[in-house]
């Protein structure tokens, strides 16, 4: 289901009517009687509504919709390439907002909420607020993504800042909606880059469409196709994700999980492809990246916050994993984001 509401000048109204009629004309051809299309434009009231409902077998009660009066806002939009040789954005979380990514090219691996998935062109990746997540490319393919930071997300039946429940998975293949996802992602990104009041109006109308379209896509089979030891590996992930600033050893983690360190390490590597200690390092570096791009803390202060007593050791580990030392990473990030510190 897509619902867009506009209140404002006629120029934007005309633009949105043109764009959405193109999208909905395609939907009418491909979806037939399953499509309900309402187009009303009262010029005297400057209002515009578009409703595109395709249930795909869902009843209206099952569809995911916004809580009444609660519409999400765009914090940032980026278009990026993730490559094996590129600067790494390590495992991290966003405590105050959520993200979604649309993969427009490539293949790789996605970790979110303790689950791991192969991803490919046409996938939508959903990040619940507060969930640890990471995207890595395969050795053969770069991943091209549109990334959208979203605040004020409130969907019916879900906690604030949540796109989905963990049991439904965090990947949605666009399938028949791939052309719409591509078009909406490009429009939102292009107008967010312009940073004008006119473009802001357009973004504010298109973003809810993108969110609802993504949230109502059916869960992928990849969500259910998880290894037998996944639950245990997720418990280990959650423990490390909470305690990584501490001076953790493999023995400490094993004691907390009531497991032998050897057995714990074996299961964790089987599921994640990395050791528990390496995962802890990635959590530390991911949190350090958050602090570098959202605060003015020094490298020494950040090192202490994420669990390193020696700033030189922290700098070396950060540079090895990310490809740049901490302060250079901060500078490069702020240059690329034109001073924005929202991610």
pLDDT digits (tens, 9 = 90+) for 99-115: 888 999 888 777 665 56
Nearest to 254 by CA among 243, 262, 246: 262
Across 37-41, 237-241, 298-302, least confident range: 37-41
Nearest to 117 by CA among 235, 272, 233, 266: 272
Structure confidence by residue, pLDDT tens digits, 154-205: 888 888 888 888 777 778 888 888 999 999 999 999 999 888 888 899 999 9
Mean pLDDT computed over 201-220? 88
Token pair of 272, please? 């994640």
Is the predicted pLDDT of residue 71 greater than 80, yes or no?
Answer: yes
Confirm if 130 and 324 have CB atoms less than 8 A apart: no
Pairwise CA distance, residues 242 & 224, whole Å: 26
Most confident segment among 82-91, 110-119, 266-275: 266-275
Token pair of 177, please? 């909606």
The pLDDT value given to residue 41: 39
- Give the pLDDT band of residue 33 (cuts 50, 70, 90): very low
Give the start-to-end residue ranges of the domains of the chain.
Answer: 1-63, 67-197+216-223, 230-336
CATH superfamily of 67-197+216-223: Jelly Rolls (2.60.120.10)
Confirm if 264 and 257 have CB atoms less than 8 A apart: yes
Q: Which residue has the higher pLDDT, 149 or 333?
A: 149
Pairwise CA distance, residues 46 & 62, whole Å: 32
CB atoms under 10 Å from CB of 239, counted, come to 17
Second-level CATH architecture of 230-336: Orthogonal Bundle (1.10)
Mean pLDDT computed over 306-319? 95
Q: Reduced to 3 states, what is the DSSP secondary structure of residue 260? A: coil
Residues across the chain: 343
The pLDDT value given to residue 273: 80
Is the predicted pLDDT of residue 319 greater than 90, yes or no?
Answer: yes
Pairwise CA distance, residues 15 & 198, whole Å: 11
Residue labelled with tokens 């292009």:
190
The pLDDT value given to residue 327: 93
Q: In whole angstroms, how far apart are CA 150 and each of 22, 165, 205, 206?
A: 26, 17, 13, 13
Pairwise CA distance, residues 215 & 23, whole Å: 18
Residue labelled with tokens 């590597």:
269
CB atoms under 10 Å from CB of 48, counted, come to 23
- Give the pLDDT band of residue 284 (cuts 50, 70, 90): very high
CB atoms under 10 Å from CB of 299, counted, come to 21
Across all residues in the chain, what is the average pLDDT? 76
Q: State the DSSP code for 264.
A: H
Q: Which residue has the higher pLDDT, 296 or 32?
A: 296
Mean pLDDT computed over 219-235? 68
Pairwise CA distance, residues 31 & 121, whole Å: 23
Pairwise CA distance, residues 140 & 322, whole Å: 20
| Phi and psi torsions of 21, nearest 5° | -65, -40
Pairwise CA distance, residues 53 & 203, whole Å: 21
Mean pLDDT computed over 296-321? 95
Token pair of 299, please? 């490298």
Pairwise CA distance, residues 27 & 22, whole Å: 9
| Phi and psi torsions of 226, nearest 5° | -115, 145
Angle at the Cα of 207 from the Cα atoms of 202 and 211, rounded to 5 degrees: 165
- Give the pLDDT band of residue 313 (cuts 50, 70, 90): very high
Confirm if 113 and 133 have CB atoms less than 8 A apart: yes
Confirm if 123 and 171 have CB atoms less than 8 A apart: yes
């Amino acid at each position: 289901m897509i619902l867009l509401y506009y209140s404002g000048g006629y120029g934007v109204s005309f633009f949105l009517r043109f764009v959405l009629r193109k999208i909905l004309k395609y939907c009418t051809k491909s979806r037939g009687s399953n499509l309900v299309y309402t187009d009303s434009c009262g010029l005297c009231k400057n209002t515009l509504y578009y409703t595109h409902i395709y249930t795909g077998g869902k009843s209206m009660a099952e569809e995911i919709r916004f809580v009444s009066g609660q519409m999400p806002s765009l914090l940032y939009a980026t278009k990026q390439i993730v490559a094996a040789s590129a600067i790494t954005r390590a495992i991290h979380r966003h405590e105050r907002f959520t993200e979604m990514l649309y993969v427009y090219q490539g293949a790789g691996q996605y970790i979110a909420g303790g689950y791991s998935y192969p991803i490919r062109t046409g996938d939508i990746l959903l990040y619940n607020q507060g969930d640890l997540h990471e995207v890595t490319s395969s050795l053969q393919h770069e991943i091209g993504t549109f990334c959208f930071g979203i605040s004020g997300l409130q969907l019916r039946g879900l906690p604030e800042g949540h796109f989905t429940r963990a049991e439904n998975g965090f990947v949605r293949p666009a399938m028949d909606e791939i052309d719409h996802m591509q078009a909406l992602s490009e429009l939102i990104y292009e107008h967010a880059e312009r940073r004008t009041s006119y473009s802001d109006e357009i973004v504010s109308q298109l973003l809810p469409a993108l969110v609802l379209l993504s949230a109502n896509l059916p869960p992928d089979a990849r969500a259910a196709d998880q290894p037998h030891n996944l639950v245990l590996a997720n418990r280990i992930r959650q423990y490390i994700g909470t305690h990584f600033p501490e001076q953790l050893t493999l023995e400490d983690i094993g004691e907390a999980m009531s497991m032998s360190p050897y057995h714990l390490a074996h299961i964790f590597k089987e599921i994640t492809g990395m050791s528990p200690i390496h995962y802890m390092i990635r959590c530390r570096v991911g949190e350090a990246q958050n602090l570098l791009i959202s605060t003015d803390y020094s490298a020494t202060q950040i090192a202490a916050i994420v669990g390193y007593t020696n700033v030189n050791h922290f700098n070396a580990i950060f540079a090895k994993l990310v490809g740049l030392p901490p302060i250079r990473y901060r500078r490069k990030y702020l240059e690329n984001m034109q001073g924005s510190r929202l991610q």
